[in-house]
Chains A and B, each alone.
Chain A
Amino acid sequence: MKVDFTLNGRSVAWDGPPITRLAAALRLDLGHTGTKVGCDAGDCGACTVLLDHRQVCACLVAMGQVAGRTVETVEGLGDGNGTLAALQTSFLAHGAAQCGICTPGMLMAAQELLRKTERPTRGEVEDALGGVLCRCTGYGKIVDAVMDATASLPAAPPAGGAVGARLARVDGVAKLSGRERFGADGVPADALWIRVVRSPHARARFTVGDLGPLRRRLAAVLTAADVPSNGFGIYPDIKDQPVLADGHVRYRGEAVVALVGERDVVLAICDEEVPITWMPEPPVIGIDAAMAVDAPLVQADKPRNLLLEGGVRRGKVGEAFATCAAVAEGVFETAFVEHAYIELEAGWAERVGDRVEIHVSTQTPYMDRDEVAVVMRLRPEAVRIVPTACGGAFGGKLDLSVQPLVAVAAWKLQRPVALVYTRPESMAASTKRHPARIAARFGCDAEGGLLACEVTASFDTGAYASWGPTVANRVPVHAMGPYRVPNVRTRGDAYFTNAPPSGAFRGFGVPQAAIAHEAMMDELADKLGIDRLEFRLRNALRVGDTTATGQMLAHSAGLAQCLEALRPHWREAHDEVAAFNAQNNEKGRGPKRRGVGVGCMWYGIGNTSMSNPSRMRVGLSPAGTLTLYSGAVDIGQGSNTILTQIAADALGLEAAQFALVAGDTDLTADAGKTSASRQTFVSGQAAERAGRDLRGQILRLANAGPDAALSLEGAKLTVRDGGEVRVIDLATTGPLMGEGTFDPPTTPLDADGQGIPYATYAFAAQIAVVEVDLELGTVKVLRMVAAHDVGKAINPTLVEGQIEGGIAQGLGLALMEEYLPGRTENLHDYLIPTIGDVPEIDCILIEDREPLGPSGAKGVGEPGLVPTAPAILAAVHHATGVRARRVPLLPHRLREAIVAAGKGT
């Protein structure tokens, strides 16, 4: 059917099946990929467009309904040539776009509002944008950007002034204009598509029947037999996850058969048409089942279903507990948590001669390259990973998803092949945060000085190893919390179950452990009648202290400064809460109670006791093009901008003069993965060294001293040293390339977990103020104050963005997020915080310089999340007297606990 309509002011004639979703028509037929698809179900709002001036989800509109109407998309904002409209500029100025995948939807929702109301209130903004989910920002900067829609960009910093400046994201214009290309945005028109048939069972044996009839309809039908080396996994020695299951599935959502063909054709084949005979077996669900003496083995060669165990031992725990004046203990449980990045797993591959090139949304191009090479039985150099823009990841795009399937298919068929997950597929197939059971026991002396701690953390690692070893290793190092504890015994172990693989998720298990150690701090403080914040301050790790792994902290341990910065907010919040509760009680015993809580954390930056180097390059071409070659992938957190700022100041030229080549394994060096909060610290140091290296070369060419000032105009590089001015003609000197590498100094941990696991640690403390409805068990977080020791804030706007986004995810962990296979495989049954759930957040940046970091900086990607759930749960306890032992603290769980504790009304 032919459909004529007006798209961004222009008449458009579209032809196709009228039941086609408007979102699909815009993206696949009309080249308007600025409209994003996150769920195809109206749950996320990423595809929000205006239809006759009203915001709608383009995934819920039939093309047949569009005839004669007007459609406005992000491409219609601004002038279409990269000059942004005022609202887009305001988003850029406020740092309201991180990964950028929700940004077009946010902009269009805001556009509907701003046409009616020029200066909307916060409430009006929340109502108007409430239908668009963002997983990165925590929403605050988005609200600010809409309320202040005429904001202009800050002035560009001068040469040498980039570090510490609130520089707008270097990739921001693309993200705001809709031009950014994410994993699903650049698929070639002639590509074939894959649809994956996945296991409906948690554990089953299966046989595949005659695929001949299907193969005649399709370009290919791939099974395990088509995968050259059918095992992958992030550890070089653990390749336990099949690309396509071979006769045995170990979790619901596991890939079994890949249908390859024209897009419409593969989508039209339903699972029932694929001849698979299932023989379900009783699944192993949960760690108790996995640990049972007679438990079936999830993986035949993994006895006891045990993936790994480790721990830290220091001092004499048993003797120390005997001397404690106060002891607290408790067991805490957490659920599977879904990353819920709004960008679905997506990418495509093509065979280029005897190489395969994969364009994919990823956090780790070099690991992807090496893993695909193993699967394909190719040399790593025969695989090229070209990262697309990444629409959120949070650890979930550290594992392979589409990569091996598109590579195998493109190699075999000699045609481009694409795969874009659906939301239910993404949720069923992808990794999750490890469910944990943490048994903690802490003791202190009569003055509140911690003496001993014993923590056992057991994790459900799901069907395959993924990042399970990383979690089980990292947690014992962190499980005593950011405190001086002389006697420590911590253990971590991880068990296989028939559940989705638990992998990497912002914090690698530390957020789960923090729930336990922070509850213990509160209980000990309460037992001794010491203020909860002061108790933490008394025990805070400081410079000169030795950690439980025997590492002396020589520098940059700013927890005490964080707590001191929070102290006035803490006292003020206590006063406010007390006044509210007193008034509420007076007026006929109202059902609302407020509480305030504090949570602390520390977080080792980079890999645990493992080399994780980064190499950065800064090039200056004969034409005068200055380029940062960065293998670090910006997944929304802002490393493209941060690394540019660092390199610019190290070199001595303006950040605005830099071009960027990022991620491509053919064009950049290995910067390691974007995880473990490491890119600012590790790649930042490498970028600083690369900038300095290039500067050194230039100064030598000009025979100038170290304080010389550089300026670049076309191919002319001017070096001013005191009164002397020298001009280097780059056209004649030829290309210059500075290079820098950094690998944070660590040592292996011995059998007792003693050693130097990390070169530096981030520290933070957060306060939460909550209001609990005692009768309904609901919790509203009213305010958060977050104090973070970041060493040095290279870009305060981006640092705040990480903290605020981390807090939003921590709030979800505490109050609403629980992935249940088969039951919450969409974004309406699986809840993440909306714009109405995340409170206003005050960020306090503490800069306790880390000498190893670039300009003193450490990482902040994960720390924002870690103390949030502990602070919220502490505030709930303060309000109600109920200590949450299991998260998420859904309304029914809290209400039942309130009633059980006799606090109900």
Chain B
Amino acid sequence: MGVYLRPRRLEEALSALARPSARPHAVLAGGTDFYPARVGRAIDEDVLDIGGIDVLRGIAAGPAGWRLGATTTWSELVEADLPPLFDGLKQAAREVGGRQIQNAGTLAGNICNASPAADGVPGLLALDAEVEIAGPASRRLPLRQFITGVRRTALAPGELVVAIHVPLPRHDAESAFLKLGARRYLVISIAMAAATLEFADGRVVAARVAVGACSPVAERLPVLEAVLIGAPRDRLSDRVDAAQLAPLTPIDDVRGSASYRRDAVVTLLRRLLADFAR
């Protein structure tokens, strides 16, 4: 039987992680990835449950942007009073599992699980999110550098994600998200796309577009982002071109073929961008 810790204070959690151990703690928050990986067997790992640490929870706005606490749930995000910048991430939140999962699953859990099909990652990439890490030394990493591969992150032993930061955009910003799955509800994405666009005088002045489930880690599409600059909001989808998908490396799996994903992503991106014409 492993050790189970549920500290109230972040320092306790960090000191538990700092203790040298042959068996690093498994970090537990919403449990929505932890338990599914342990079906039908006894759980004997040492577990650090961070769900009781108040400072890790909740959303706060500051002069530089927003701090999304690590254990903020998808439902809390949906219910939070946030500007249109967050509409895309909220749309993604509503597509994570069912309500049960949205009520329990956490933002940081989604990025730490590092699934190629993590529903939160494209939207957070499009928000230019940074990951705040506590540990022997506190540090911040851009999200794309934090997730290093399939089920891999840059977290070092002794480190814990404490928050995700979304910088304040310089202009009026809006975002959107689209998910493609073979059924409604409870579905792992075949592909998904998210975009944040900043507008001035009805034209795009900054663009961040990301695609998920089409590469080991969700990727931004810089070439597409560049061609969107200067476009009027009702002419965005015309600028999507398959050649902009170079960062993507989709695979064949049970949900779809690689060629289908390439094809569908173009459609998703066109529709996603057409959605800004309002």
Spell out A's residues near B (CB within 8 Å).
1, 17-19, 21, 39-43, 45, 48, 51, 54-57, 59-62, 64-65, 109, 112, 126-128, 130-133, 195, 264, 267-268, 270, 422-425, 591, 775-778, 815-816, 818, 820, 823-824, 826, 828-829, 831, 833-837, 890-892, 895-896, 899
Contact = CB atoms under 8 A, between A and B. Distances in A.
Q: Which 8 A-B pairs have the closest CB atoms?
A: A131-B98, A836-B184, A130-B185, A892-B260, A422-B40, A41-B36, A268-B42, A892-B256
Residue with the greatest number of chain B CB neighbours at <10 A, chosen from A818, A831, A899: A831
A895 B6 contact: no
Nearest to A195: B40
Interface stretch (B25-33, B59-67, B126-134, B210-218): B25-33
B256 to A, nearest CB: 4
Given A19-B47, A268-B44, A816-B183, A40 B39 contact: yes
23 contacts: A19-B43, A42-B101, A56-B100, A57-B101, A60-B100, A62-B31, A62-B47, A62-B49, A64-B49, A65-B31, A132-B98, A424-B40, A776-B264, A820-B254, A834-B184, A835-B184, A835-B185, A836-B184, A837-B183, A890-B182, A891-B260, A892-B256, A896-B257
Contacts of B39: 39-41, 422-424, 826
Nearest to A773: B267
Contacts of A132: 98
A831 B187 contact: yes
Contacts of B43: 19
Contacts, number: 167
Contacts of B100: 42, 45, 48, 55-57, 60, 109, 131
A823 B252 CA distance: 13
A57 B103 CA distance: 9
Interface in B79-130: 94, 97-101, 103-104
The secondary-structure label for the interface of chain B is loop
B186 A131 contact: yes
A64 B182 contact: no
Given A40-B39, A127-B99, A834 B256 contact: no
B92 to A, nearest CB: 15
B254 A829 contact: yes
Q: How large is the interface on B (under 10, 10 to 19, 20 to 34, 35 or more residues)?
A: 35 or more
Contacts of B2: 19
Given A41-B36, A424-B40, A65 B4 contact: no
B41 interface: yes
A267 B99 CA distance: 30
Given A824-B254, A835-B185, A892-B257, A109 B42 contact: no
Interface of B: 1-2, 4, 6, 28, 30-32, 34-36, 39-44, 47, 49, 51-52, 75, 94, 97-101, 103-104, 180, 182-188, 190, 254-257, 259-261, 263-264, 267-268
Given A130-B186, A834-B183, A896-B257, 4 more contacts: A19-B43, A55-B103, A837-B183, A899-B263
A294 to B, nearest CB: 29
Nearest to B102: A131
B256 A890 contact: yes
A112 B75 CA distance: 13
A128 B185 CA distance: 10
Contact of B4 (A18, A826, A836): A18
B254 A60 contact: no
Nearest to B51: A65
Given A42-B35, A836-B184, A776 B267 contact: yes
Contact of A836 (B40, B183, B263): B183
Contacts of B31: 60-62, 65
B41 A267 contact: yes
A737 to B, nearest CB: 46
Contact of A65 (B49, B94, B103, B267): B49
B4 A64 contact: yes
- Residue among B104, B190, B255 having the largest count of chain A Cβ atoms under 10 Å: B104
A537 to B, nearest CB: 34
Given A834-B185, A834-B186, A891-B182, A60 B104 contact: yes
A775 B267 CA distance: 7
A131 B40 contact: no
Given A19-B2, A55-B100, A62 B186 contact: no
A130 B4 contact: no
Given A62-B28, A776-B264, A41 B35 contact: yes
Contacts of A820: 254
A109 B99 contact: yes
Contacts of B180: 776, 778, 891
A55 to B, nearest CB: 5
Nearest to B94: A127
Given A45-B98, A65-B49, A422-B39, A130 B184 contact: yes
A837 B185 CA distance: 9
- Of the candidates A423, A776, A892, the one having the most CB atoms from chain B within 10 angstroms of its own CB is A892
Contacts of B261: 892
Contact of A891 (B36, B98, B188, B190): B190
A40 B35 contact: yes
A17 B28 contact: no
A555 to B, nearest CB: 41
Given A61-B31, A267-B42, A131 B97 contact: yes
Contacts of A109: 99-100
A43 B101 CA distance: 9
Contact of B1 (A17, A422, A824, A896): A17
B40 A829 contact: no
B186 A133 contact: yes
Contacts of B256: 890-892
Contacts of A19: 2, 4, 28, 43, 47
Contacts of B104: 56-57, 60-61
Nearest to B180: A776
Contact of B35 (A21, A422, A824): A21
Given A267-B41, A835-B185, A895 B51 contact: no
A776 B97 CA distance: 21
Residue with the greatest number of chain A CB neighbours at <10 A, chosen from B103, B180, B187, B188: B103
A818 B254 CA distance: 9
A56 B104 CA distance: 7
Contacts of A55: 99-100, 103
A40 B185 CA distance: 18
B35 to A, nearest CB: 5
Contacts of B187: 831, 834
Contacts of B6: 18, 64-65
Contact of B254 (A48, A126, A267, A823): A823
Pick the most buried of A18, A128, A131, A264: most chain B CB atoms within 10 A of its CB.
Answer: A131
B28 A425 contact: no
A899 B101 CA distance: 37
A723 to B, nearest CB: 64
Contacts of A823: 254
Nearest to B190: A891
Contacts of A816: 182-183
Nearest to A41: B36
A834 B6 CA distance: 35
Contacts of B99: 55, 109, 112, 127-128, 130-131
Contacts of B101: 42, 57, 60, 131
Nearest to A39: B39
B183 A895 contact: no
Contacts of A54: 75, 103
B130 to A, nearest CB: 28
A9 to B, nearest CB: 21
A41 B186 CA distance: 12
Give the interface centre of A18, A60, A895 by most chain B CB atoms within 10 Å: A60
Contacts of A818: 254
Contact of A425 (B34, B40, B94): B40
Contacts of B30: 60
B32 A267 contact: no
B89 to A, nearest CB: 18
